[in-house]
Amino acid sequence: MSVTVDDDLWSAVGDPTRRRMLDLLLSDGGGTATTLSEQLPVTRQAVAKHLGVLDRVGLVHGTPSGRERRYEVDEAQLARAVAQLSSVGATWDARLRRIKQIAEAIQRGQQS
């Protein structure tokens, strides 16, 4: 019952900058390294690296178009990541509830 997640996906979406990039790509309907870097506090090269890892795990897909390279979010893959995210949350939530119940049971046992 361990919390096993696709660590590549998790770490990809675990970086704050990459989360903001996904956010921007979603609200703008795609973009390039340059357009993204203009809306972020990091350089174009940093953004390009992030786009590389996001592309490798399949969260975005980049297609060359003339002198620029346009990236768009792969919604299906992002949905998978979000699902895993909430599954981790659910697992811990359940365990927390279980622990709480055990704790209460022990208290009841002690005071009897």
Partner DNA sequence: GTCAGACGCAACCACTGGTTGCATGTCTGG
Partner DNA sequence: CCAGACATGCAACCAGTGGTTGCGTCTGAC
Residues at the contact surface with a copy of itself, assessed by CB under 8 A = 2-3, 5, 7, 10-11, 14, 16, 19-20, 22-23, 26-27, 29, 75, 78-79, 82, 85-86, 88-90, 92-93, 95-96, 99-100
Q: Tell whether residue 17 is a contact of DNA (CB under 7 A).
A: yes
Q: How far is CA 71 from CA 1, 12, 96, in A?
A: 37, 16, 40
Candidates 22-30, 35-43, 72-80, 85-93: pick the segment binding DNA (CB under 7 A). Answer: 35-43
| Burial annotation 21-56 (CB, 10 A radius, 16+ → b, else e) | bbebbeeeebbbbebbbeebeeeeeebbebbeebee
Compute φ and ψ for 96, nearest 5 degrees: -60, -45
Rule CB under 7 A: say whether 5 interacts with DNA: no
Closer residue to a copy of itself (CB): 10 or 58: 10
Rule CB under 7 A: say whether 22 interacts with DNA. no
Strands (E), the chain: 60-65, 68-73
- Pull the structure tokens for residue 64: 């060359």
Does 11 contact DNA by CB under 7 A? Answer: yes
Does residue 66 interact with DNA by CB under 7 A?
Answer: yes
**60 pairs with which residues across the strands?**
73
Name the residues that contact DNA, by CB under 7 A. 11, 15, 17, 32-34, 41-46, 48-50, 53, 64-69
